[in-house]
């Protein structure tokens, strides 16, 4: 199905693409990526939903815009997002979607997070990315932007039986649009290192589905079980063959899972 561009990147607006008919669903990409990663997912979901894909501030065709904290990012998104929608966020996008659901619940019908965590940085007993890994990424980003983003993409695909194909798709998506703004990349790493939404999510008032990859090296699958204890009223699903990008590795099952929860 053809994608209809609703809003083109400019100093004052984010780049959005919308397609299909039905309930509104907003898809948020992860760190270092852009909305092109959702192409196959959007094609499938648009058979049941009105799908809205955005390049987050500083990424892709929204490169001209800068927003460095969750409040600023959320406000820019809400300025152009549907009045009420299902919000689906992958990785860092999951933090953003969760922030919107926590602080702007009237705009969110349901929340779906993909390969995400309310706290990405490990802090015993909480499982996550070793703080030194995030610190190293920050230093490497200052030294060599393109190599750092490529290494992060490789980490996202690692462990999946289709890792080479997943990495190829991620690279193709990233390279199809302008490079991310370095300030936004640095601030994004800061969000992954510092944000902790565990207590805030306990006050969540909208239905939530959490999706994980069993082989994920960035968000350990045991986080899914920790979240069951933290948020027992939410739902979860683990994709057995996926690492950090289940919507690429197990596309059909991913879309079926989203549809079951969202419709």
Which position among 91, 98, 117, 160 bears the catalytic label? 91
Provide the token pair at 242. Answer: 């996926």
Distance CA 163, CA 204 (A): 34
Which residues have C-beta within 8 Å of that of residue 11, sequence separation ≥ 6? Answer: 64, 65
Residue 225 phi, psi dihedral angles, 5° rounding: -75, -35
Distance CA 181, CA 147 (A): 15
Active site residue 216: yes
Provide the token pair at 11. Answer: 């100093």
Distance CA 53, CA 35 (A): 6
Q: Coil, strand, or helix at residue 126?
A: strand
Which position among 52, 61, 99, 244 bears the catalytic label? 244
Active site residue 244: yes
Which residues are registered as beta bridge partners of 51? 19, 25
The answer to whether the CB of 135 falls within 8 A of the CB of 129 is no
Alpha-carbon torsion, ordered 173, 77, 86, 129, to 10 deg: 60
Which residues have C-beta within 8 Å of that of residue 208, sequence separation ≥ 6? Answer: 101, 110, 111, 112, 113, 201, 231, 234, 235
Is the Cα torsion angle 92, 94, 97, 98 positive or negative in sign?
Answer: negative
Provide the token pair at 91. Answer: 């990785």
Q: Which residue has the tokens 């510092």?
A: 194
Which position among 24, 55, 216, 243 bears the catalytic label? 216
Q: Which residues are catalytic?
A: 91, 216, 244
């Amino acid at each position: 199905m053809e994608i209809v561009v609703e809003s083109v990147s400019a100093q004052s607006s984010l780049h959005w693409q919308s397609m299909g008919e039905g309930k509104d669903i907003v898809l948020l990409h992860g760190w270092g990526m852009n909305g092109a990663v959702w192409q196959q997912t959007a094609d499938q979901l648009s058979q049941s939903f009105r799908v809205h894909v955005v390049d987050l501030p500083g990424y892709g065709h929204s490169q001209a815009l800068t927003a460095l904290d969750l409040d600023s990012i959320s406000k820019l998104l809400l300025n152009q997002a549907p009045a009420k929608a299902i919000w689906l966020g992958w990785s860092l996008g999951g933090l953003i979607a969760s922030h919107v659901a926590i602080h702007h619940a009237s705009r969110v019908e349901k929340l779906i997070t993909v390969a995400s965590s309310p706290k990405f940085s490990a802090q015993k007993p909480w499982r996550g990315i070793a703080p030194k890994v995030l610190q190293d990424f920050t230093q490497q980003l200052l030294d060599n932007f393109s190599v750092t983003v490529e290494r992060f993409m490789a980490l996202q695909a690692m462990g999946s039986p289709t890792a080479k194909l997943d990495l190829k798709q991620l690279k193709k998506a990233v390279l199809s649009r302008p490079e991310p703004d370095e300030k936004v990349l640095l601030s994004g790493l800061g969000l992954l290192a510092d944000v902790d939404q565990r207590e805030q999510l306990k006050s969540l008032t909208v239905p939530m589905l959490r999706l994980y990859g069993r082989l994920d090296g960035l968000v350990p699958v045991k986080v899914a079980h920790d979240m069951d204890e933290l948020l027992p009223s939410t739902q979860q699903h683990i994709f057995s063959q996926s690492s950090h990008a289940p919507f690429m590795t197990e596309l059909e099952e991913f879309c079926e899972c989203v549809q079951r929860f969202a419709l």
